[in-house]
Amino acid sequence: MRLRVLARLLQIQRALVRHGLDDFVRATHLYRPFRFLVYLSPWTWFQRSIGATRGERLRLALEELGPIFVKFGQAVSTRRDLLPTDIADELAKLQDRVPPFDGSIAVASIEKAYGLPLSGIFGSFDPVPLAAASIAQVHVATLQDGREVVVKILRPGMREIIDLDLEVLEYLATLADAYWREARRLRPVELVGEYRKTILDELDLLREAGNAAQLKRNFAGSSLLYVPEVYWDYCRVDVMVMERIHGVIVNDLEQLRARGANIRRLAENGVEIFFTQVFRDNFFHADMHPGNIFVQVDDPENPRYAAVDFGIVGTLQTRDQHYLAENFLAFFDRDYGRVAALHVESGWVPPGTRVDELESAVRTVCEPIFNKPLKEISFAQVLLRLFEIARRFDMQVQPQLILLQKTLFNIEGLGRQLYPELDLWQTAQPYLRRWMRERMSPRAVLRCARAQLPDFLMALQQMPQIFQTTVREATEGRLKLQVQNTDAALLRAEMRRGSSRRDAAIAAAVLWLSGLAWLALSTKMLWLGWLQMIAAIVLYLASRSARLRGE
């Protein structure tokens, strides 16, 4: 383990202990070898968050530990069905009330990014942040022509902090992969790899600006979702400028009711927006916690969502998108046999899985939750039961679906807060059926064929040349077929490692015997010396022979 990783692990434990979260420390088996160092340190005696509630202590610890931990708190804060109320209330503060950095640092960052004084960039700039999040904070400003905007600025030193925490996560994932029985199914190393790509993408605000522009095009003219305009001339890698929007934060139910908003329609629209992004556009906002979602209530009967913070977006491969839609529809139809068959076809479970057994297991978990509103469904219990099924059938986690699952959890959490009577099945089912019909319609097939026609014609033009070259190489004996076998490559690598270990052992033995020979000759025990020299030569020749056979 690298020293900086060990230091970070100790720092994590220190924060947990100092904020009175000792139970987390005692439950962390990885820390046992050096746990005593923490308890003997003075900061564990004098720097605790005395008097704070458990929710406050947990929030403060996450804030101290940095952006990755804050994002974890943001994600779970939407699941009030999984958390005690006091903890959920405190973690909700992580959505937009993370302690800000000083406004003078923000100004210095802006001037460095543009190479101009602040007065030469904006007409006005408020140094007091409007909101602060784990990776960046937002300030209100106006452009030189008076248009009102928000300016998003990365926190200083973010890349170094995140790189270290990712290294810690990768170390823990590697340990889990080596020593945890469930690692092959849960694939922790791949999950951390997916998370690395996601979190590093958030550090590039030009990428976020591109995400916002794409989402705005996807919902152009929509009455469901409004996306603010990006001002590209003002965007840099660490600074982004976009239109300022006004609205009610989505979880402020008191204000929404006071404004007369149709809460039921708002909740149903949220479900439709999710399915539209995932299936129609294959491009979805994947960080939909309440701090990033506002509601415009200019027309209370038709309230419209407005999204901000586009640092995390998700896409799916066409194959996964198809299987997900088929799974949802089979689930809505209670066709558990189809659900089981789709899991086998998609490769999410091993090919030898008995479909009838998987069907029975899925039916047992899913049947009790039908025709119930959100408030009567414990998705936590459903999830736990599904995990039990996954373990029983050796179902592997699909890293490419993690963002989608996270987004679905956020949507469900928001729906539970907005309108607990919402019927997810009745809201989502008509949309998915319509999408499947449109996807398989003759018009859609013709449109797809027309889009692929230029590539097909180009390949057709190249066929005679490819055929002529192949025949000529075959005639001249220069045609070679390359066959790559992953298992054979792994076997060769293992043989090379074994050969290296054998060579090292033989070399050590040769040196040891040569040393004995030198000792024997120097003490006039000639017969022993010659015997050791002969043994050394025999070992050397044996190693050469083994190497030649391996080659």
**Catalytic residue numbers?**
287
Task: Categorise residue 139: left if φ over 0, alpha if ψ from -120 to 50, beta otherwise.
Answer: beta
Task: Report whether 294 contacts 248 (CB < 8 A).
Answer: yes
3-state secondary structure 195-211: HHHHHHHCCCHHHHHHH
Give the SS3 label for residue 186: helix
List phi, psi (to 5°) of 294.
-120, 165
Q: Could you tell me the two tokens for 36?
A: 């005593």
Residue in 98, 143, 96, 94 with CA at minimum distance from that of residue 122: 143
Task: Report whether 373 contacts 420 (CB < 8 A).
Answer: yes
Helix (H) or strand (E) holding 153: strand 148-154
**Nearest-angstrom CA–CA distance, 262 and 163:** 44
Q: Could you tell me the two tokens for 356?
A: 């009838």
Give the SS3 label for residue 28: coil
**Nearest-angstrom CA–CA distance, 249 and 258:** 13
Q: Could you tell me the two tokens for 309?
A: 């913070």
Interior/surface letters 442-452, b for 16+ CB within 10 angstroms, e for the rest: eeeeeeeeeee
Distances (CA, A) of 384 to 381, 388, 434: 5, 6, 31
Residue in 274, 343, 271, 283 with CA at minimum distance from that of residue 316: 283
**Nearest-angstrom CA–CA distance, 256 and 253:** 5
